[in-house]
Amino acid sequence: MNRSNSAWKKNVVKSCATLLTEYEASGKSSSHPSKLMFQGIGDRDVYNIAAPFADEGELVIVGRVESRDSEQAEIVFFVERQGIWTPREGAPVLTLQDPFHTRIKGELVVGGVEIFPHPERPGDLVWRTVFYKGSHIAELKLFFTGPDGMKDLRLVELGDGSIGVFTRPQGEKGGRGRIGYCRIASLDELSVQLIDNAPLLEEQFTQDEWGGGNEMHLLKNGLIGVLGHIACFEDGEDRHYYPMVFALDPTTGQHSAIELIAVRSRFLPGEAKRSDLADVVFSGGLIRRLDGTADLYAGISDAEAQRITITDPFTKYENEEPS
């Protein structure tokens, strides 16, 4: 690919503060913020939704559902009825957080974060990403469990039928959380060892900040458009999460610089799960449109689900010509 775009030049690690300054100076537009309304789940919140997708001829949204004072979540599949999203009759309810979906070899793949007791520290919890697959929602079956302690594990089918695997280790290898990438020929090659050994993408996060991939888009020129988040603490307490994107060449691993695509103030005012989560926007999914815009679906402040329209952030990468 011809890397004439400045975003592909040698990356320099930028903090959330620097990225925020660049975003505010960029003049990027947004419009039509709206809250998604849900019923049929009692007084619980719905947030960290994925983008809507079609299943058996019907549009479906999957979201994280939990009480305001709890982290015990379920992911529920919703369908829209007269502007209100209600649980889909007969659909499974999975005891997971932060759902996502893709398609691999024509099958629906749905995943989320499973929370379970720490095997060595009584009273503590640990997490891992799990994957289900099936011809449609009603047929979903568990097929893979990721490494303990890893969220934001994602898959994307590439143009040649191979599969891109995005990882996010924490701790000795990944610090607070960094993105890794590798490539496999089929889902049969997916393993905990392969994920643990995936090389990290360089020059993306400062030592005290973190991020992950949320949804992958195969662009028409073969690049992968990554929708993700970058996050930081303020004064050691308040969390700031920003929706971001970058593009990656699946063959070489070369990637563009991270850029923000929205901030909390572009969405409608609303409630927060806790005061330290007021400035959290968790990217859920992106629906790209033919007019050059895209609808961003996001979890807001760990309490609400909203949608906003932005300029399609992947067009500039998709239009690059092969060298």
Say if strands 107-117 and 125-134 run parallel, antiparallel, or are unpaired. antiparallel
What is the spatial distance between Cα 140 and Cα 209, in angstroms, rounded to a whole number?
35
pLDDT of residue 10: 61
217 has a pLDDT exceeding 70: yes
Mean pLDDT of 258-267: 97
Residue 321 clears pLDDT 80, i.e. is over it = no
CB 300 within 8 A of CB 283: no
How many angstroms separate the CA atoms of 290 and 71, rounded?
38
Q: Note the pLDDT of residue 123.
A: 77
pLDDT one-digit tens code per residue, 125-146: 899 999 999 999 999 999 999 9
Burial degree of 115 (CB within 10 A; 0-12, 13-18, 19+): middle
* Token duo for residue 232: 């930081």
Residue 4 scores a pLDDT above 60: no
pLDDT at 301 over 70: yes
Q: Are 201 and 179 in contact (CB under 8 A)?
A: yes
pTM exceeds 0.75: yes
pLDDT for residue 322 is more than 60: no
Complete domains list, the chain, with CATH: 6-318 (2.115.10.20)
Q: How far apart are CA 53 and CA 110, in angstroms?
A: 11
Q: Which of 197, 200, 198, 272 lies closest to 241, judged by CA?
A: 272
pLDDT of residue 1 exceeding 70:
no
Other Cβ atoms closer than 10 A to 140: 20
* pLDDT score at 235: 78
Contact between residue 23 and residue 260 where contact means Cβ atoms under 8 Å apart: yes
In the predicted model, is pLDDT for residue 9 greater than 80? no
Q: Specify the pLDDT at position 323.
A: 41
What mean pLDDT comes out for the span 38-58?
Answer: 97
pLDDT category at 319 given cuts 50, 70, 90 is: confident
Listed range (4-8, 29-33, 101-105, 295-299) with the worst mean pLDDT:
4-8
Mean pLDDT of 10-35: 93
Contact indicator for 282, 301 with CB cutoff of 8 Å:
no
Specify the range with the lowest mean pLDDT, choosing from 83-92, 105-114, 273-282, 314-323. 314-323
For residue 176, give Cα distances in angstroms to 123, 130, 170, 179, 221.
22, 20, 5, 11, 33
Please report where in the chains the tokens 């859920």 appear, as a residue.
284
Band of pLDDT at residue 233, cut at 50, 70 and 90: very high
- Does residue 310 contact residue 288 with C-beta atoms inside 8 Å? no
Of residues 60, 111, 85, the one with CA closest to residue 304: 85
319 vs 316: which has the higher pLDDT: 316
Instruction: Kindly state the average pLDDT of the residues 249-270.
Output: 96
Q: What is the pLDDT of residues 69-121, one digit of tens each?
A: 998 999 999 999 999 999 999 999 999 999 999 999 999 999 999 999 877 78
Contact 158, 183 (CB under 8 A): yes
